[in-house]
Amino acid sequence: MSAAPETHPPSSADRLDAATRVVVKIGSALLVDQASGRLRRHWLDGVASDLAAWRAAGKEILLVSSGAIALGRRQMGLPRGPLKLEESQAAAAVGQIRLAHAWQEVLAAHQIPVAQVLLTLDDTENRRRYLNARSTLGTLMKLGAVPVINENDTVATTEIRYGDNDRLAARVAEMATAEVLVLLSDIDGLYSADPGRDAAARRFDLIEEVTPAIAAMAGASSSGVGSGGMVTKIAAARLALGAGCSMVIASGRRDRPLTALAQGAPCTWFVAQKSPRTARKLWIAGNLAPKGRLTVDAGAARALAQGRSLLPAGVVAVDGRFERGDAVVVADAEGRELARGLVAYGIEDARRIAGHKSGEIEALLGYRGRDEMIHRDDLAVTGP
């Protein structure tokens, strides 16, 4: 037997190569010149070239782009310093158009269509709306568009907003089952202390778990730029790792920052210990209280065991009290649990379409719903 080859931790290039779906989050401080308040167009062109190269290599990309408020405040001549809530809502309304337009232009140069998606906290936290946002993002990916996502700051109020795009990006990564989340920042990673103040501060290359000690360091090394800083990046890392998505903090303070990252630029990787699919199935199987039960026939039970979706035709009984997006148990005629999943219909509609072909849904409900009662991505087989 030959000796085991020497093993190195995978490089950034290895980790990025292995990912088929990547979320890239870009902060306001990178997009908008601090002094003039103008969009940094040349830099943006470079990012677009980077993204085009990743797409050509077969990756699907979702962008989470900040900058709406920063751009809007300049255009409307709002003062520096903190804005009132109504002012930032108004600034976002003005700036978001310019932001989306800029992305459309720079990506059109590479024949890449752009889709604007504005999300609120509710869209990611409320189960029913979460399913909607998730399937729209999935369809955009399938169609080959790059979603350019931001928080819908114009309607978000203080109590119900993220306020920072780091955590929003982590939720998007979870929702889209992305394997990697890239946070482009004004700093090239997580440091043990504030590198601007402490000469002994060192950057972490690799973090596998966000321990309380790591979180405490984030507080100490907060960069103070943008709404985020390091604290929200650590919160994002927790969300991402929980969803099986690895996250990297890298510097955007250079041209072609994503190419630089792939070529070994300094950064901090937070490495997920499970895949996004596994994380999602575990979440569905273990973390949600089921609100109802769908009893299925033998054909549907076989389809589930083969990893297929549950169609309305195979459902023979519907019990419980659930809304669209709630978790339900799927059981066989003997009452044995086969699976758990997020159901695409509320109980009333589920009862109406149970036992019917998907093609009949529109006639039965008066609207064109989803073909599946539970989509296979939303199903975790738990039973015998």
Question: How far is Cα 235 from Cα 220, in angstroms, rounded to an integer?
Answer: 15
Q: CB-wise, 70 or 114, nearer to ligand GLU?
A: 70
Of 329, 375, 380, residue with least CA distance to 131: 375
What sign results for the dihedral spanned by CA atoms 132, 137, 143, 148? positive
Please identify which residue in 226, 292, 314, 341 interacts with ligand GLU, judged by CB under 6 A: 226
Contacts for 104-107: CB closer than 8 Å, 24+ residues apart: 106/41, 106/44, 106/45, 106/47, 106/48, 107/48, 107/51, 107/52, 107/146
Residues numbered 84-123 forming contacts with ligand GLU, rule: CB under 6 A: 92
Please identify which residue in 68, 245, 258, 330 interacts with ligand GLU, judged by CB under 6 A: 68
The answer to whether 28 contacts ligand GLU (rule: CB under 6 A) is yes
- Least distance (Å) between residue 36 CB and ligand GLU: 17
Choose the stretch contacting ligand GLU; rule: CB under 6 A; options: 1-9, 66-74, 245-253, 294-302. 66-74
Please identify which residue in 12, 66, 221, 246 interacts with ligand GLU, judged by CB under 6 A: 66
Instruction: Mention every residue, 6+ apart, whose C-beta is less than 8 A from residue 214.
Output: 190, 204, 207, 234
Please identify which residue in 126, 227, 259, 358 interacts with ligand GLU, judged by CB under 6 A: 227
- Least distance (Å) between residue 320 CB and ligand GLU: 38
Of 251, 249, 254, 208, residue with least CA distance to 232: 249
The answer to whether 164 contacts ligand GLU (rule: CB under 6 A) is yes
The answer to whether 185 contacts ligand GLU (rule: CB under 6 A) is no
- Least distance (Å) between residue 39 CB and ligand GLU: 12
Residues near ligand GLU (CB under 6 A), total: 16
Choose the stretch contacting ligand GLU; rule: CB under 6 A; options: 62-70, 134-142, 298-306, 364-372. 62-70
Contact indicator for 347, 292 with CB cutoff of 8 Å: yes
Q: CB-wise, 27 or 312, nearer to ligand GLU?
A: 27
- Least distance (Å) between residue 159 CB and ligand GLU: 16
Q: CB-wise, 29 or 304, nearer to ligand GLU?
A: 29
The answer to whether 186 contacts ligand GLU (rule: CB under 6 A) is no
Name the phi and psi angles at 114, rounded to 5.
Answer: -115, 140
Residues numbered 122-161 forming contacts with ligand GLU, rule: CB under 6 A: 150-151, 153
Question: How far is Cα 355 from Cα 297, in angstroms, rounded to an integer?
Answer: 10
Q: CB-wise, 15 or 161, nearer to ligand GLU?
A: 161
Of 276, 24, 21, 16, residue with least CA distance to 148: 24
Q: CB-wise, 126 or 227, nearer to ligand GLU?
A: 227
What sign results for the dihedral spanned by CA atoms 365, 368, 369, 372? positive
Please identify which residue in 46, 147, 189, 228 interacts with ligand GLU, judged by CB under 6 A: 228
First-last CA distance in the chain = 41
- Bridge partners (DSSP) listed for residue 207: 270
Question: How far is Cα 384 from Cα 370, in angstroms, rounded to an integer?
Answer: 28
- Least distance (Å) between residue 196 CB and ligand GLU: 20
Instruction: Mention every residue, 6+ apart, whose C-beta is less than 8 A from residue 333.
Output: 295, 297, 298, 316
Two structure tokens written together for 137: 């993002």
Q: CB-wise, 99 or 131, nearer to ligand GLU?
A: 99
Q: Which residues bind ligand GLU (CB under 6 A)?
A: 27-28, 66-70, 92, 150-151, 153, 164-165, 226-228
